[in-house]
Amino acid sequence: MIIVMQPLASDADINRVVEKITGLGLKVHLSEGRYRTIIGVIGDKKVINGFPVEALPGVEKVVPVTESYKLVSREFKHEGSVIDVGGVPVGGESLVVMAGPCAVESRDQLLEAARAVKDCGAQFLRGGAYKPRTSPYSFQGLEEKGLEMLAEAREKTGLKIVTEVVDTQSVPAVSAYADVLQVGARNMQNYQLLKAVGKAEKPVLLKRGMAATINEWLNAAEYIMNEGNYNVIMCERGIRTFEDYTRNTLDLSAVAAVKSISHLPVIVDPSHGTGVGKLVQPMARAAVAVGADGLMVEVHPNPAEALSDGKQSLTPANFAGLMREVAGIAALMGRRLA
* Of residues 186-245, those binding its own copies (CB under 8 A): 186-187, 189-193, 209-211, 213-216, 219, 222-223, 226, 239-245
How distant, in Å, are the alpha carbons of 180, 223, 232, 238 from that of 206?
10, 11, 7, 13
CA 255 distance to own-chain centroid = 10
Binding window for its own copies (CB under 8 A); candidates: 39-47, 78-86, 115-123, 155-163: 39-47
Which one of residues 10, 15, 22, 49 is an interface residue with its own copies (CB under 8 A)?
Answer: 49
Q: Which of 159, 322 has the CB closer to its own copies?
A: 322
Positions in 263-292 near its own copies (CB under 8 A) = 273-274, 276-279, 282-283, 285-291
Q: What is the DSSP letter of 79?
A: S
How distant, in Å, are the alpha carbons of 12, 180, 295, 333 from that of 287?
54, 21, 8, 11
d(C-alpha 308, C-alpha 314), whole Å: 13
Positions in 102-131 near its own copies (CB under 8 A) = none
d(C-alpha 26, C-alpha 48), whole Å: 9
Q: Which of 22, 253 has the CB closer to its own copies?
A: 253
Q: Which of 45, 115 has the CB closer to its own copies?
A: 45
The separation between the first and the last C-alpha atoms of the chain, rounded to the nearest angstrom, is: 44
Which one of residues 13, 18, 56, 106 is an interface residue with its own copies (CB under 8 A)?
Answer: 56
Positions in 152-181 near its own copies (CB under 8 A) = 166-169
Which one of residues 257, 320, 337, 338 is an interface residue with its own copies (CB under 8 A)?
Answer: 257
CA angle 145–151–154, rounded 5-degree value: 145
Binding window for its own copies (CB under 8 A); candidates: 36-44, 80-88, 109-117, 146-154: 36-44
